[in-house]
Amino acid sequence: MLTLRQISKHYNPGSVNELCLFEGFDLSVAEGEFVAIVGSNGSGKTSLLNIICGSIDTDAGSILVNGQDITRQKDFLRHRRIGRVYQDPSKGTCPSMTILENMSLADNKGRAYGLGRGVNKSRIARYKELLLPLGLGLEDKLHTPVGSLSGGQRQALALLMSTMTPIDFLILDEHTAALDPKTAEIIMELTERIVREKKVTTIMVTHNLRYAVEYGDRLIMMHEGKIILDRSGREKQEMDTDEIMGIFNRISVECGN
Amino acid sequence: MALLLSVLEQGLIYAIMALGVYITYKILDFPDLTVDGSFPMGAALACILIVKGMPPVATLPICFAAGAAVGILTGLIHVKLKVRDLLSGIIMMTALYTVNLRIAGKANLPIYNLPTIFENDLVNGIFTGALSRYKTVIVILILTVAVKYLLDWYLSTKSGFLLRAVGDNDTIVTSLGVDKGLVKIVGLSVANGLVTLSGCIFAQQQRFFDISIGTGTVVIGLASVIIGTSLFRGVTFWRVTTSVVIGSLIYKGCVAAAIRMGLSSSDLKLVTAVLFLIILVLGMDRKKKVKTDADTTADQQTL
């Protein structure tokens, strides 16, 4: 259970460029829920994820995970219980290290990184087992540096790596936006499968309205730092892309773009 | 022959320093100028400890530890006080100048008739007769190879993996739930430990400490790293650390050749700088760096 209570965030406070992004923002995400967030540029979607992950500070308000206040917790400490996939496929992996080395790193998350061997050979079979269902042939390329893989392959690997260890939340920051439509589709299907298998609470920001309608249990539309649409359960299932497109266009026209 | 021996000896000693620079420059992507201060610190410590009667072998771990401590300080200045990487190194380099003078007590400290790791009962007992002129190079070779393999081992541990990851993509280190600042501090610490160890061995081979021996250390280190890594870019049957060691030998060879062609030893630093420039231009390492720097400036302006 994630709760954001009365979050406020201003950029450039005290200057002429002061921008108020959030003012008294509230949001609750239930355990195991898969939330899709859509909204125009500057609506605060990515800032919201950054606030949850601790990448940016808030001015006021509190963030609670299962009742525990993590508002002042450092970002790297929060990430021990969060898996995160970024828009840029190169952010979720280490390009100069091999697939095997990358997976070994991710496999050790939550434990100490000491002077033990970096690669645990007895885990190789398990890694291959995880890579096989992707259907990308990565299981035969364990010793290939990740930098020489394509964006889609890297993103699939990043998604896999972010969910290898037990996590409370999966945070997906427009993770299909930099991929071609076909690869994006594969990554979305993989996402759906992982989320359902692990029953992990997931927050996905996307620009693709169709993905937001097709995937997830709940759909949130944001505009200028506010939630203007929040549907879950049957209400969400009955929505179609045209309807949400209509709402999206209406708010866009209202503010002149 | 004497020239070849001297190139081998110095090349191998500087190779240990170059391995330290390899960690900061290539792995961490941190241009660390601290080395200009930590290298002579190793020399100063070695000489004063030997003058005070310490067994020469004991100077090696002491110098490594002292260098590691200096690296931690550079790291703390950069990570905790948020000073830019280049400036953190410059601050430490400047401060260490005084520290080194204080350690040695004066600007020049010879140890001509005292035991060193090359000149003691054990080494003299093993290398007798015709072998004795090779004893220095053999001892250095053993030390350098040992350091290289220890570094290879470290880079294959979990901690070493993190070090490689932080230079590659520091976002992922945060994603793994690890403080990336701490990883940088560890890297700087190991790197400066090696550089100081190299200075310690250098002083015992030269048999003196001089305050000026640190000048240009970083240039020699960078040149060795860039020669090694660009010359053997596609080589997969040995590790990059081996390329760096060979790079150091080639670099020392080039400098020796330049001096032999009629330049005097006072021209050494100029030769060092010009050679480095040639290597940078030929090595093509510069293009990427300059471009990224330009990009970051552009980014900052748009912000």
pLDDT of residue A253: 67
pLDDT of residue B293: 45
> What residues contact B275, with CB distance under 8 A and at least 6 apart?
B223, B251, B254, B255, B258
How many angstroms away from the CA of B27 is the closest CA of chain A? 10
Run means of pLDDT, 10 residues per run, chain A, 257 residues: 89 80 90 91 88 90 89 91 91 93 94 92 93 89 93 92 92 91 90 92 92 90 88 83 83 61
ipTM of the prediction greater than 0.90, yes or no: no
| Cβ atoms of A69 and A75 closer than 8 Å | no
Instruction: Tell whether A155 lies on the interface with B, counting CB pairs under 8 A.
Output: no
* Nearest Cα residue in chain B from A81: B177
Q: In angstroms, rounded to a whole number, what is the distance separating the alpha carbons of residues B286 and B22?
A: 16
How many angstroms away from the CA of B180 is the closest CA of chain A? 8
Q: Which residues of chain B does A106 touch, with a Cβ-Cβ cutoff of 8 Å? A: 176
CB contact (8 A) between residue B157 and residue A114: yes
Q: Which residues of chain A does B171 touch, with a Cβ-Cβ cutoff of 8 Å? A: 86, 91-92
How many angstroms away from the CA of A144 is the closest CA of chain B? 13
The DSSP line for A55-84 is SS--SEEEEEETTEE-TTS-HHHHGGGEEE
Tokens of A75: 């970002």
Nearest-by-Cβ selection for A79 from B156, B157, B175: B175
Q: Which residues of chain B does A119 touch, with a Cβ-Cβ cutoff of 8 Å? A: 156
> What residues contact B8, with CB distance under 8 A and at least 6 apart?
B137, B140, B249
| Cβ atoms of B161 and A105 closer than 8 Å | yes
Nearest-by-Cβ selection for A93 from B161, B172, B180: B172
| Per-residue model confidence as pLDDT tens digits over A49-104 | 999 999 888 889 999 988 889 998 999 999 999 999 999 988 999 999 999 999 99
Nearest-by-Cβ selection for B176 from A109, A116, A119: A109
